[in-house]
Amino acid sequence: MLVLLLAANVNAQKTDTGNWFLYFGNQKINNRWNWHNEVQYRNYNFAGDLEQLLLRTGIGYNLSENNNNLLLGYAYIHSEPYVAGTDDKLETDEHRIFQQFISKQQFGRINIQHRYRVEERFVKDDFKLRLRYFLSLNIPINKKEMEKNAIYASAYNEIFLNTEQNQFDRNRLYGGIGYCFNKSIKVEAGIMSQMMANNSRAQFQIMVFNSLPF
């Protein structure tokens, strides 16, 4: 699949399907505290036509053992959107402070995660406030648990809401397949459809998750 996507997209400046390379780290400091670290490299094509670079980090605290995590964080976002109807780009930088709460549940093989996030966004001289709700499912296929050598199905939906006019910002719907190297390292690939008020776009995603403790 990767070879076919590369052959189809590497020479195209703008395509109908973009590609996001994503890394998510969540390092346990002790039974209560954790460090979140994240890099997202988003392209308009398979690779090389940068859409956005996102760096995010934060410190979290578990209200209960390994669950119900409160986190305070910061994100830096560099964006290069195209000027409508041209091949020219604009460059913008955004700084965010965010607060989030994550709760996890398990029903049989089904692993559920809820994430509620508030973002204070600083773009040039503008300030925006945004609310996000994220719901994800991970279901192991060949094993009963998300353990070593488990292949799993993954799905999520996330809705973004602004606090000003035009409250709907965007919605992301995703489905993919993942593999657990062990309980701390897993990789995943899938397709995400991002729907906004004026347009929508598909994104191929390649993700690495690292939860090795310190």
3-class secondary structure for 95-130?
EEEEEEEEEEEEECCEEEEEEEEEEEEEECCEEEEE
48 falls within a domain: yes
List average pLDDT for each run of 10 residues in the chain, which is 214 residues long.
44 67 97 97 91 97 95 97 87 97 96 98 93 98 96 98 91 98 97 90 96 90
Q: How many CB atoms lie within 10 A of CB 44?
A: 25
14 falls within a domain: no
144 falls within a domain: yes
Predicted pLDDT at 47: 83
13 falls within a domain: no
For the chain, how many structural domains are there in total? 1
Predicted pLDDT at 6: 46
Predicted pLDDT at 214: 81
Predicted pLDDT at 15: 56
Surface-to-core class of residue 23, CB atoms within 10 Å of its CB (0-12 exposed, 13-18 middle, 19+ buried): middle
What is the spatial distance between Cα 37 and Cα 73, in angstroms, rounded to a whole number? 9
What is the spatial distance between Cα 164 and Cα 40, in angstroms, rounded to a whole number? 27
